[in-house]
Structure 1
Amino acid sequence: MNITLFIFLMVYLAMGLGKLPGFKVDRTGAAMIGAMAMMAVGSIGAKAAWVAVDYRTIGMLFGLMVVSGAFAESGFYEWTARKVATLSVGPIALLAVFVAVSGCLSALLTNDVVVVAMTPLLVSVTLARGLNPVPFLLAFCFAANTGSAGTLIGSPQNMIAAQELGISFTGFLSVAGIPALLSLPIVWGIVAWMYRGKWTLEHAGVSKERTGTKTEQTPLNIQETCKAIFITISVIIAFVLDVWPKELVALTAAAILLLNRKISSNDVLRRVDANLLLLISGLFIVNAALSKTGLPQNILHHLHGYGIDLNDPLSLFLTSATLSNIIGNNPTVMLLVPFLNSGENVNAVGAALALGTGFFSNLIIFGSLAGIIVVEQSARCGVKISFGTFTRVGAPISAACMLMAAGWIIFLTSHQSY
């Protein structure tokens, strides 16, 4: 048990720090090494390890990543960015457009892929207009995290929670959609207030030698974009009908999009976050190995004695929010979901996980993958977003969104029909 616990703690230490101390091992590497170590020391057998990896979750994640990747390859994201660039509006109205676009796209097309595809484009859009890109990038990132919390397909952690708890698409939307929608004006209002009078390029931390950087434009392929839109709508309808397993729906959609005469399947597949899929697979094994020791169950029993019940939506909301800023939102859901019950308040439990990990992850850069992507890709474009800058704006947004979401969850738990 001691060696199992040690391996588990080292894996989650890497989740929190972003790497294994003393080694050039990132989160994905740590998860895979941890999984292999658990099998090597006999904490879990090879067959049990394979069984621990939930193929349904991996299949749904992969399929939906391919769907989102098809939009990127069709030029849809670049077309959207160019349309935003040509709007004849002032900075505050443009910020509202950024927030709306980010929230809507992330809710439908997986936030991480949207952020990867659009961050460099949005840097170009703002610089071309002589605007400070920082507030626009921050708002885009924050809206991606909060807006994606509203749907089952908005983020990987939502997909994991919904799949493991058996929450339907409409059930998830009914409990998480409204607070996700309400979070968008909160993001816009706070960013607009904090950057009042600081909209011009002279207020930005931009490397002068990079301000003229041009990104290669991909023309919009109308036929492929329409195909991707049709497939996405079909997937949503299938999820709403809830007749077929979600993973089969997502994989069928991916297969149809990969069968293409104009866009190489390799180009679409490179948009899939293989590292994230490996990380989740590794964590399935690591968590299953620790669960065999009985330690997590004992800890939860003791916590329950102190009044902390993870199956209480408000307790889960606060716990998941805290953990998401320590080990990341996806690992948090992976860690907590095996110990949650699919009872009559399962939708409220799902909302607590989604809103907690989605809303509070805006507090620090490493609270979400979207935050890391925006900061790193912006730096490559010559725009520096420091840890302090991110948190200075993210903290009041996180606090306001959390307060609103807590009120919503209290409302849900008082109406057990949810």
Structure 2
Amino acid sequence: MTFTVAIFLLVYVAMGAGQVPGFKVDRTGAAVVGALVLIAAGRLSPQDAWDAIDYKTVALLFGLMVVSAAFIVSGFYGWATHRFATLDLSPPALLAVLIVISGLLSSVLTNDVVVVAMTPLLVAITLSRGLNPVPFLLGFCFAANTGSAGTIIGSPQNIIAAQGLGMSFNEFLRVAAVPALASLPIVWGIVAFLYRGRWHGTASGEAVALPPTDHRETVKAAAVTLIVILAFVATDWPKELVAMAATAVLLVNRRIASSDMLGHVDGNLLLLLMCLFIVNAALAATGLPQQLLGDLKAAGIDLEQPLTLFLVVSALSDTVGNNPAVMLLIPYVGGERSDGALGAAFALGTGFSSNMFVFGSLAGIIVVEQAKKKGVAISFGEFTRSGLPISLACMAMAMGWIAFLGR
């Protein structure tokens, strides 16, 4: 047991720190090494390791990544960024538009993909207009995190939670969409207040041309996405099979190479999740998590209580990351309750708390790193100065909502 626990802790230290201390081994590398060591040491048989991987979750996430990739290769994200960021509006109004666009797109096309695709052009356009890009980037990032909490397909952790709890698309939407939408004006109000009088900078003098867009492929991607959502809403077909069917339709293409589309799939994330399934299963086989949860319950900390789960997953998300946090807790939650309050606790806890710090979400890291490449520095302090009050305000609202659901 000691060996398994030690490997487990090393893997999750890497999840929190971003890499194994002292080595150039990132989160995915740490998960792969941890899984292989545990299998090689006989702590989990190869068959048990294979069985531990939730193929339905992995297949659903892969399919949705391909759907999002279709919008990247068609040029939709570039067109949308240029179209809305160049609107002749006052800075507060422009911020509101970008927050709404970010929140809505992230709820349908996965937040990390939206942020990766749109951030560089958003930096270039705001600089060309003589605007300070920081409030627009922060608002865009914060809205991507909170808006994505509203649907199953908004983020990988939502997919993991919904699959683990057996929640339908409609049930998830019912318990998470309202607070996700309500978070957007909170994001706008706090960012607009903190950056009042600091909207403008020096114009770069470089006009940003409208990126090339393949309208036919954009329409095709939109049609497939709509059909996928309708299938989720109106049928009980397995979600992973619907997503994989959409993948097949999109990859069969006479205009865009399948390799170009698959190149935008986050293979590292898929591999990370598969290996974490194995590492977590090895720890579960020791019986230690069950014993620990029993002790916590005896002490009054019961993860079957939605508000308690909300606080615990929020804290874990800012420690080891939102995806590992959900994967760590989901096997031990949902046995005694079948209502959607637990699903709301997972979605809102991970989505709303992740704006506190840069490392709280992949979206935050992406925005800061992409902005840095374009010459725009967003410090840890500046990120947290806006992100902390936004997270606390959204979390307070979410706690009221979860209490309402669980009454």
- TM value normalised by structure 2: 0.98
1:146-165 to structure 2, matched below 5 A, reads 146-165=146-165
- TM value normalised by structure 1: 0.95
Find out whether 1:258 has 2:223 as its counterpart: no
Asked if the contact 2:15–2:320 (Cα under 8 Å) also holds between the matched residues in 1, the reply is yes
Asked if the contact 1:213–1:381 (Cα under 8 Å) also holds between the matched residues in 2, the reply is no
Tell me which amino acid in the other structure corresponds to 2:253.
N
Tell me which amino acid in the other structure corresponds to 2:358.
I
Distance in 2 (CA, whole Å) between partners of 1:346 and 1:45 is: 35
Find out whether 1:379 has 2:389 as its counterpart: no
Asked if the contact 2:103–2:148 (Cα under 8 Å) also holds between the matched residues in 1, the reply is yes
Distance in 2 (CA, whole Å) between partners of 1:366 and 1:378 is: 15
Name 1:63's counterpart in structure 2.
63
Residue by residue, what CA displacement relative to the aligned partner does 1:341-382 show, whole Å, maximum 9, x if unpaired? 255544110110000000000000111111111111111111
Tell me which amino acid in the other structure corresponds to 1:390.
F
Name 1:332's counterpart in structure 2.
325
Cα distance, 1:229 vs structure 2: 0.7
Distance in 2 (CA, whole Å) between partners of 1:270 and 1:40 is: 31
Cα distance, 1:330 vs structure 2: 0.4
Cα distance, 1:41 vs structure 2: 1.3
- 2:316 counterpart (314, 323, 333): 323
Other structure's SS at 2:154 match: coil
Name 1:169's counterpart in structure 2.
169
Name 2:299's counterpart in structure 1.
306
Residue by residue, what CA displacement relative to the aligned partner does 1:278-308 show, whole Å, maximum 9, x if unpaired? 1000100000000000000000000001111
Residue by residue, what CA displacement relative to the aligned partner does 1:123-182 show, whole Å, maximum 9, x if unpaired? 011111100000000000000000000000000000111111110000000000000000
Distance in 2 (CA, whole Å) between partners of 1:354 and 1:178 is: 12
Find out whether 1:403 has 2:396 as its counterpart: yes
Name 1:236's counterpart in structure 2.
229
Other structure's SS at 1:88 match: coil
Distance in 2 (CA, whole Å) between partners of 1:335 and 1:369 is: 18
Distance in 1 (CA, whole Å) between partners of 2:289 and 2:244 is: 33
Distance in 2 (CA, whole Å) between partners of 1:217 and 1:74 is: 13
Distance in 2 (CA, whole Å) between partners of 1:386 and 1:344 is: 42
Distance in 2 (CA, whole Å) between partners of 1:112 and 1:283 is: 20
Asked if the contact 1:167–1:346 (Cα under 8 Å) also holds between the matched residues in 2, the reply is no
Residue by residue, what CA displacement relative to the aligned partner does 1:30-80 show, whole Å, maximum 9, x if unpaired? 000000011111110101000101110000000000000100111111111
Other structure's SS at 1:11 match: helix
Structure 1 runs not aligned, ≥5 long: 203-207
Name 2:288's counterpart in structure 1.
295
Equivalences, count: 407
Distance in 2 (CA, whole Å) between partners of 1:242 and 1:340 is: 26
Distance in 2 (CA, whole Å) between partners of 1:276 and 1:215 is: 32
Inter-CA distance 214–302: structure 2 relative to 1 (3 Å threshold): farther
Asked if the contact 2:79–2:210 (Cα under 8 Å) also holds between the matched residues in 1, the reply is no
Inter-CA distance 48–96: structure 2 relative to 1 (3 Å threshold): same
Asked if the contact 1:132–1:200 (Cα under 8 Å) also holds between the matched residues in 2, the reply is yes
Tell me which amino acid in the other structure corresponds to 2:142.
F
Cα distance, 1:243 vs structure 2: 2.2
Tell me which amino acid in the other structure corresponds to 2:200.
T
Distance in 2 (CA, whole Å) between partners of 1:306 and 1:143 is: 36
Find out whether 1:363 has 2:356 as its counterpart: yes
Name 1:46's counterpart in structure 2.
46
Name 1:179's counterpart in structure 2.
179
Distance in 1 (CA, whole Å) between partners of 2:157 and 2:355 is: 15
Asked if the contact 2:16–2:319 (Cα under 8 Å) also holds between the matched residues in 1, the reply is yes
Other structure's SS at 2:19 match: coil
Question: Once structures 1 and 2 are overlaid, which stretch shifts more, 215-224 or 145-154?
Answer: 215-224
Distance in 2 (CA, whole Å) between partners of 1:216 and 1:39 is: 52
Tell me which amino acid in the other structure corresponds to 1:97.
V
Asked if the contact 1:345–1:413 (Cα under 8 Å) also holds between the matched residues in 2, the reply is no
Tell me which amino acid in the other structure corresponds to 2:307.
L
1:2-17 to structure 2, matched below 5 A, reads 2-17=2-17
Backbone CA RMSD of aligned residues: 1.3
Name 1:205's counterpart in structure 2.
none
Q: Which runs of 4+ in 1 moved over 4 A?
A: 211-217
Name 1:89's counterpart in structure 2.
89
Tell me which amino acid in the other structure corresponds to 2:266.
D
Distance in 1 (CA, whole Å) between partners of 2:10 and 2:286 is: 17
Asked if the contact 1:150–1:181 (Cα under 8 Å) also holds between the matched residues in 2, the reply is yes
Other structure's SS at 2:377 match: coil
Distance in 2 (CA, whole Å) between partners of 1:128 and 1:267 is: 30
Distance in 2 (CA, whole Å) between partners of 1:340 and 1:86 is: 46
Asked if the contact 1:18–1:27 (Cα under 8 Å) also holds between the matched residues in 2, the reply is yes
Inter-CA distance 212–288: structure 2 relative to 1 (3 Å threshold): farther
Name 2:124's counterpart in structure 1.
124
Question: Once structures 1 and 2 are overlaid, which stretch shifts more, 379-388 or 6-15?
Answer: 379-388
Cα distance, 1:273 vs structure 2: 0.6
